[in-house]
Chain A
Amino acid sequence: MILSMAIIWGLVVMLALITYQRRRGLFTEALQFARKQAVIVLPRMPMALIAAGFLAELMPEEQISGWIGADSGMLGILIAAGLGALVPSGPIISFPVAIALMHLGAGVPQLVTFITAWSLFGVQRTLMWEAPLMGWSFVSRRMAVSLPGPFVAALFAAAIGTVIQVSAR
């Protein structure tokens, strides 16, 4: 927690100095870029967290941890991949859901699969950006070659887990 805070704000200070040195106008531009994002995200985030937290309370905990828990193996990875692909929105939804799954006892490889599947197959990004800009010919090929992704990542995450002990927060 303190470490990630230090990393992020250390980066902010470093980049701010570089930007300020290069040209003062750039500094204002960068702040505007950040402000535009923050105005959108900050009001939604507490609600997304609260919604995901409440929904987690309503879920049958034992069942979920049985489905995608640390001992759920390949089936759990398949279920996690399906859940990730179904998350219909951006990081503002997927990460609160990932946290909720973690609290329900999801294993690290299963969580890695969940996030990877969402990253590769997120519906919103495909419909809003990829299909209009690149066309369906591109989309279908990308989907096809992305299919192994969540499973490869799970495999490597499990392998890394056997070498070093990782616990999600």
Chain B
Amino acid sequence: MAQRPGFGRQLFDTSFFVFLILAVGGGAAVYWLRGQGVFVAALEKDLGLFLRIAPQIIGGMLVGGFISVLIPNDVVARWLGRESGFKGILIASVAGMITPGGPIISFPVIMALAVAGADIGALLAYLTAWSTLGLNRIIVWEIPFMGFDFAVVRFLASIPLPFIAGYLVRRLPPVKFRDLPASSDDTP
């Protein structure tokens, strides 16, 4: 039975074949230019790396799955609401940090917040925190690939970024959102 995987993506789409071509082409070039020894050594090293990383990636995806069913997105939206100032940016940063899943979750959340009238500084803080401090990606990708120490250093070094983005964007002319549905006045 050919069941389509979710998120509108298929198992064997263009990106799959791009990866395949890169791997085969890279391998052929190494074999040709550097010889069989280097080719085999590189292949063994990368397959070993895959075997060590794969169980952690599977675990990370399960974590993402559980968090996505445990924290409803509307709760996140309510916390961010119309706050502004330091508090709004702080809350937005933490929310971005813990939002699970990929862009398929974070961008709908940002959209919902914009419609609800969230401050642009908070939106940018959320997006910046999600992309640079997102725990989901750190757990699924960064720790397995780069190691725990590196992930911690990069995380600490990135903590200022949502605040810088949030405060800077407040000094720019306001964004014109197109196609925003008129938000009903649901403020209490």
Chain A CB count within 10 A is highest, among B6, B26, B70, B143, for B26
The answer to whether B161 touches A153, judged by C-beta atoms less than 8 angstroms apart, is: yes
Given contacts A54-B27, A167-B149, contact A153 B132 (CB under 8 A): yes
The answer to whether B142 touches A3, judged by C-beta atoms less than 8 angstroms apart, is: no
Residue numbers in B under 8 Å from A92 (CB-CB): 19
Chain A residue total in the interface (Cβ 8 A)? 89
The answer to whether A4 touches B56, judged by C-beta atoms less than 8 angstroms apart, is: yes
Residue numbers in B under 8 Å from A22 (CB-CB): 70
Residue numbers in B under 8 Å from A130 (CB-CB): 107
Q: Count of A-B contacts with CB under 8 A?
A: 278
CA distance A5 to B60 in the complex (A): 10
A54-65 near B? 1/0 per residue, CB < 8 Å? 110110000000
CB of A9 to closest CB in B, whole Å: 5
CA distance A155 to B9 in the complex (A): 38
Residue numbers in B under 8 Å from A53 (CB-CB): 26, 42-43, 45-46, 49
* Interface of B (DSSP majority class): helix
Residue numbers in A under 8 Å from B157 (CB-CB): 112, 152-157, 159-160
Residue numbers in A under 8 Å from B55 (CB-CB): 5
B15 near A: Cβ within 8 Å?
yes
A-B contact pairs, 20 of them (CB 8 A): A19-B69, A29-B69, A30-B62, A30-B68, A31-B65, A34-B62, A38-B57, A43-B16, A49-B49, A54-B27, A57-B38, A99-B146, A112-B157, A129-B103, A135-B176, A135-B178, A137-B176, A149-B165, A153-B132, A153-B158
